[in-house]
Structures are given as structure tokens and as C-alpha cells.
Amino acid sequence: MCGITGYIGKRDATPILIEGLKKLEYRGYDSAGIALLKKGKMTVCKKKGRVDVLAGLMRKNPFKANLGISHTRWATHGGVTDENAHPHVSSDGMFALVHNGIIENYENMKRFLVKKGYTFSSQTDSEALVNLIAYHYQYRTSDKDENRFLEAVRKALIHVEGTYGIAVLCKDKPDELVAARKGSPLLIGIGKDERLVSSDVLGFAGRANNVIYLEDGQVASITKDNCDIISIGNTPVEYTIKEIDWQLENADLNGAKHFMQKEIFEQPKAIENAIRGRISEDQATAILQGLNMTPNDMRQIDRIIFCACGTAWHACLVAEQLIERYARIPVEVEYASEFRYRNIPIEKNTLVFVISQSGETIDTLEALRESKRKGFKTLAITNAIASTISRESDGGLYQYAGKEVGVASTKAFTSQVAICLLIALYIGRMRDMSYSVGKDIINALKSLPETIEKTLKTAPQIKKIAKKYACKNDFLFLGRLDEFPIALEGALKLKEISYIHAEAYPAGEMKHGPIALICPECPSVVFACAEDVLAKIVSNAQEIKARKGAVIAITCFPEAFKDIADDIITVPKVHDSIRTIIDTVPAQLLAYYIALERGCDVDKPRNLAKAVTVE
């Protein structure tokens, strides 16, 4: 959410910053801006709109400098205007700042600063911070301080309530960039005679292979060949340098039209990566060393809580059904944003799992921290290597799905579900799951990449179906058992990228209210691969037909729908444990093609951004 890049080195900063911003644009695309500093002259250019608009302006008014910061915004405080775009400059012109996060006490700060004579030209919380830094520079530090710039930032941050990832320039310091974080990711990339700052490794655009992950409450003074980090409490910090795996961070379109399309079609590979090395054929179980739990620890667990947001929350709902079905342990699923404040009683021997593609979602991170505070063992499933959630949990499993850039999550979801199935298998085999059931699940998992490939072949048919229904403004999505979470996921995908109103229900719930919506203008997508309840869901589809509603059936039992459904998308019949993954593929394709039909920007849907680092 919001992208930050910074550069200090020997080269022209502008093209490097713009290239970085383009890679980060999926994190916010309301407005973009850049601040450059050379020999005490600071120049700022910022504009409503995409990074390309900014790039065009910079081409018209070039300013060569070896030091700069830049930002692509997802608006929180203040509307989408040129004035509210970052960087923000202190009213004395001394500092420029880019900020990701929310400063909750900015109104108090602003009142204080106005009394001191500082002026404001935007409605943002970030402008209060840059002026507070200026205030501390002028009144709370002296030019005798060796690290006056760093000190001014550190002292200002002591007063901040909320979250931030910031990069700051000071007119007096043409060879230094200061960065800090609390709750919003910030990384420092190390190149030869240059340092980069970014909110995501992608912002380095392949220019740095080594990286320092700033931790919460740390402030860094960065020069072209050095980096000193202190804590907000002013103690020096020893940091480690990590190597970036660019293979996993690859974010090129590779010939695809959209990242979402590319990522839907990458699912066979993503699943292969999720299960690689994690299966023991001999023992008919999973090998999950990342959990950092002995089999004995695992056997003590009486209950599991899964926490996440959005699509990852839907993966938790599937996990609930898989783990209860195969491992016979009670599972509860919580919205991470609610869990933190609900103060639910957690019994001993409870394990808390969080799921987060980005590993940076603030609600999920805070749910994890709350669980740790209460003394619970916390495990995480994340896709982003070395993300905050993966670093702060007691153990966990990486998805290795490869970078997900499309704002609407696709391959990350199915890979999360595959990992949850591995967990169900692992715990199940420690309890009363038989060898042969374990073997069936393993065979199902191994068959997944090929079966997804087959399912992807429905794309041309789905494209045609999408043409037929793209004009509708309301959809219902229905499923039973573990296909209900897929109905939720299908509805979410459609809402996000095509702006069509869509609701999902367990199919049996329809008659308790939502059936009132059924009419020729409201089609229903019905997921029907669960044989146990096939007759029931066929009846539900008939209820829709009787009320002149269109039915799009996603099923491996096409015969059962031949006289009922208006359109049937036939998917391969698979083992019960993996049907949700197969169901998901047509749901993603349907949302994708409908969005295209409606002329929507599928990779940058309105109001959304990837990695939500604000509450």
C-alpha cells in the first residue's frame, strides 16, 4: 500500500526512481511524485495519476541529481489531488518526505505546529510529520550535533502514534538519506557505491542483490557507501544483510496481457513449488519442517485458530474444512482485523495460524502479535520471503508461488489451500488418518499441476460465457461444504476487478432470504463438485431456474445440470481434498474475462492496492 523508492549514489537518480516506482505501482496508483536534491537545491514534482504521468513531467523538466526519493500513493488522509501527492515538503523548505502508513495523532501535531508558525498546503497526515521533523531540526537539535538530520527524524518519530515507512531528504545534507519504519515495510538495497530504499524488493528493479530489512522502531542514516541504523530509543542496531532471490521476485509480464492472467496460468507451477520436498510417499504424510514443532508438540494441540484477511481469509475457511475433515481437530477462523480487538478467550494448547500472501498486511500482523503477547504458538503461511509476518512468527511455511503482482490474488490463494491440505495431512497422519487416506491425498496433490492445466483449457469457453453476462450488475455465488469458501472467493474476484455487485452464500441458505434477489437480471454461479451434496445443490439450482434466474454451473457432474443450467463449465473430477482448487480456476477466469469485457483495468482495480499496510 503506497510504494516508496529512494536512491543515493553516483548515477542520475530520476530514471532509477521512476523505474522502481513503476514496479511498485501495484501498491497504489492514485498519484506519484519525486523529490531530488543536488548541492542544496531541492526540486519536487508530483502529480495526480499514474507513474507514467510523472515520468512525462520529469522528461519535460529534467533535473540531474544523485539523491532522491519518490512515492506512488494509495490515498488515506486527503483526497486524490496534486497537493496531497507525496513527497511533502516542510514549510521552511528544509525537508522532503515520502510516507507509507497512517499517523493517527496528526491533528494534535498540526495544531502544535501551526502555533509555531508552520504552514500546511495538503490535507495529509504526512505533511504534519515532515513539519515536525523540521521543528525538531530547528529547535531540538543543534548544528554541533554530528548526526543532526538523523536526530531530528528520530526525535520527531518519538511523538508519532500510528504507522510509517518513511524516506526523508534534508537540504543541508546533500549526501545523506534517512529512512525509518514502524508497521510499514522498508528495505535498504546495497549496490556498488549506491544505496536504494524501497517498500518492496521490487522497487530495487534488479539493481541490488543484497538487502537490509529495517525492523519496527529503527531509523537509518544512509549514504552512498554506508548505512548506520539506530533504534528510536537511540541505541545502535546491528543488522544482517540478506541476499535477494530474484527468481522468486520475478515480476515481468512475460508476454501475458495482464499480471492477473499470467498468475492464473502460473498456478500449476505455483502448486508444484508449494508441495515440492514436502511429501513423504513412504510414510504417506507431509514433511513440514518449517513449522518448528516436534510431532510431540503437534500432538498436544487441541484447537487451531486461523486468521487472515480477504482472499487469504477464504483460504482459512477451506483450511477449516480440510483440517476438521482429515485431522479431526476443531478449527476456528477469524478475520484478523476483528481478532485483535475482540479479546477472545483462547484455551491452552491452541495453535494460531496466520495466512498472508504479502506477509505485510497490518491487520494480520497485529493479530499475530496479539496471539504472541498472549503466549500462543504462532505459525504463518506467507509468499513473501523475509516479510514481517514470516520473521515474527514462531515458524511457518513459505508458498514459493513466485511474486504476485496482480492486485486480485489468484495463484497465492490456490497455493495457500494446497499448503493447508499438507497441514491437514501432516496432523491427520499423527492422529487417526489411515495410510491409504494419506496416500490418496498425496496422489491428489501430485496430480494437481496437470489437473489445473486441464482446467485452464476451459478459458475459451469461459470467455464466451463472460460476454453473455458482462452486462449484469448483480451476481449470486453458491456452494456447499468447502465449495462455499470458493463461492466467496469467486464473488470477491468479480467485485474487485469488474465492480459488479456479487454475494456468496452456502447454497442451502439461499431460500432463507437471498432467493428474493433471483430474477432474470441476477445470474447465479453454482459450484457443484461435492458428490455428497450433489442432489441438494441440484435442487437449489432448480429453485433458481423456477424463478427465471440464469444458472452457470461449475461442476464435474455436467449431466446433473443439463436440463437446468444455462451454462455448464465442466471441470475434471478429482479427489475431494483438492476440489476447491479446481473450482477456483474457472471462477478466476470468469471474473477476469467479465472485467475485460467491461473494459476494466484488471491489474489496477479502482480503490484497491496490493499489501494493505494500514488499518
Q: Answer for the pair 523, 498: CB distance below 8 angstroms, yes or no.
A: no
User: Does the protein bind ligand F6R through residue 408 (CB under 6 A)?
Assistant: yes
Strands 210-213 and 242-243: antiparallel
Residue type, 78: G
Q: Which residue stretch of 96-104, 294-302, 303-311, 527-535 sits at the interface with ligand F6R (rule: CB under 6 A)?
A: 303-311
User: Does the protein bind ligand F6R through residue 409 (CB under 6 A)?
Assistant: yes
Region 356-375 residues binding ligand F6R, contact defined as CB under 6 A:
356-358, 361, 364
User: Does the protein bind ligand F6R through residue 390 (CB under 6 A)?
Assistant: no
- If the CB atoms of residues 410 and 555 are measured against ligand F6R, the closer one turns out to be 410
Q: How far is the CB of 263 from ligand F6R (least distance, A)?
A: 11
Q: Answer for the pair 317, 485: CB distance below 8 angstroms, yes or no.
A: yes
Q: How far is the CB of 612 from ligand F6R (least distance, A)?
A: 5
Q: How far is the CB of 497 from ligand F6R (least distance, A)?
A: 8
User: Does the protein bind ligand F6R through residue 309 (CB under 6 A)?
Assistant: yes
User: Does the protein bind ligand F6R through residue 166 (CB under 6 A)?
Assistant: no
Q: How far is the CB of 380 from ligand F6R (least distance, A)?
A: 10
Q: Which of 529, 428, 542, 551 is nearest to 482 (CA)?
A: 529
- If the CB atoms of residues 207 and 340 are measured against ligand F6R, the closer one turns out to be 340
Q: Which of 304, 307, 416, 291 is nearest to 367 (CA)?
A: 307
The phi, psi pair for 402, rounded to 5°, reads: 85, 160
Q: How far apart are CA 5 and CA 17, in angstroms?
A: 6
- If the CB atoms of residues 14 and 580 are measured against ligand F6R, the closer one turns out to be 580
- If the CB atoms of residues 364 and 455 are measured against ligand F6R, the closer one turns out to be 364
Q: Answer for the pair 202, 186: CB distance below 8 angstroms, yes or no.
A: no
Q: Which of 214, 244, 249, 245 is nearest to 232 (CA)?
A: 214
Q: Establish whether 610 is a catalytic residue.
A: yes
Q: Quick count: other Cβ atoms within 10 Å of Cβ 155?
A: 20
- If the CB atoms of residues 21 and 307 are measured against ligand F6R, the closer one turns out to be 307
DSSP 199: S
User: Does the protein bind ligand F6R through residue 311 (CB under 6 A)?
Assistant: yes
User: What is the longest distance spanned by two Cα atoms in the chain?
Assistant: 85
Q: How far is the CB of 496 from ligand F6R (least distance, A)?
A: 5
User: Does the protein bind ligand F6R through residue 612 (CB under 6 A)?
Assistant: yes
- Which residue in the list 2, 307, 522, 600 is annotated as catalytic? 2
Q: How far is the CB of 590 from ligand F6R (least distance, A)?
A: 14
Q: Strand runs (DSSP E) across 515-591, as ranges?
A: 524-528, 551-555, 567-570
Exposure string over 519-555, b if 16+ CB within 10 A, otherwise e: eeebbbbbbbbbeebbeebbebbebbbeeebbbbbbb
Strand partners, 96: 89, 169
User: Does the protein bind ligand F6R through residue 611 (CB under 6 A)?
Assistant: yes
User: Does the protein bind ligand F6R through residue 603 (CB under 6 A)?
Assistant: no
| Size of interface with ligand F6R, in residues (CB under 6 A) | 15
Region 319-358 residues binding ligand F6R, contact defined as CB under 6 A:
356-358
- If the CB atoms of residues 327 and 492 are measured against ligand F6R, the closer one turns out to be 492
Q: Which whole-number Å values give the CA distances from 146 to 173, 187, 205, in the listed order?
A: 12, 25, 33
Q: How far is the CB of 358 from ligand F6R (least distance, A)?
A: 3
Peptide bond connecting 87 to the previous residue in cis, omega within 30 degrees of 0: yes
- If the CB atoms of residues 131 and 356 are measured against ligand F6R, the closer one turns out to be 356
User: Does the protein bind ligand F6R through residue 496 (CB under 6 A)?
Assistant: yes
- If the CB atoms of residues 28 and 310 are measured against ligand F6R, the closer one turns out to be 310
Roughly what angle, to the nearest 10 degrees, separates helices 13-24 and 51-60?
170
User: Does the protein bind ligand F6R through residue 312 (CB under 6 A)?
Assistant: yes
* DSSP assignment string, 83-152: TTSSPEE-TTS-EEEEEES-BTTHHHHHHHHHHTT----SS-SHHHHHHHHHHHHHHSS-TT-TTHHHHH
- If the CB atoms of residues 137 and 353 are measured against ligand F6R, the closer one turns out to be 353
User: Does the protein bind ligand F6R through residue 310 (CB under 6 A)?
Assistant: yes
Q: How far is the CB of 213 from ligand F6R (least distance, A)?
A: 17
Q: Establish whether 468 is a catalytic residue.
A: no
- If the CB atoms of residues 19 and 496 are measured against ligand F6R, the closer one turns out to be 496
Grouping H, G, I as helix, E, B as strand and the rest as coil, residue 243 is: strand
Residue type, 85: A
Exposure string over 195-230, b if 16+ CB within 10 A, otherwise e: bbbbbbbbbbbebbeebbbbbbebbbbbbbeebebb
- Which residue in the list 22, 173, 224, 610 is annotated as catalytic? 610
Q: How far is the CB of 605 from ligand F6R (least distance, A)?
A: 9
* Segment (H or E) for 582: helix 579-597
- Which residue stretches of 158-222 are H helix? none
Q: How far apart are CA 505 and CA 606, in angstroms?
A: 25
Q: Which whole-number Å values give the CA distances from 180 to 6, 215, 218, 232, 570, in the listed order?
A: 12, 9, 6, 9, 52
- If the CB atoms of residues 46 and 493 are measured against ligand F6R, the closer one turns out to be 493
Region 451-480 residues binding ligand F6R, contact defined as CB under 6 A:
none
Q: How far is the CB of 397 from ligand F6R (least distance, A)?
A: 14
C-beta nearest to ligand F6R: residue: 310
Grouping H, G, I as helix, E, B as strand and the rest as coil, residue 366 is: helix
Q: Please, which residues have CB within 8 angstroms of residue 386's CB and are 6 or more apart in sequence?
A: 213, 242
Q: How far is the CB of 382 from ligand F6R (least distance, A)?
A: 8
- If the CB atoms of residues 124 and 357 are measured against ligand F6R, the closer one turns out to be 357
Q: Please, which residues have CB within 8 angstroms of residue 71's CB and are 6 or more apart in sequence?
A: 2, 3, 4, 5, 21, 32, 33, 34, 46, 85, 86, 87, 98, 99, 100
Q: How far is the CB of 565 from ligand F6R (least distance, A)?
A: 26
Q: Which amino acids are annotated catalytic?
A: 2, 610
Binding footprint of ligand F6R on the chain (CB under 6 A): 309-312, 356-358, 361, 364, 408-409, 492, 496, 611-612
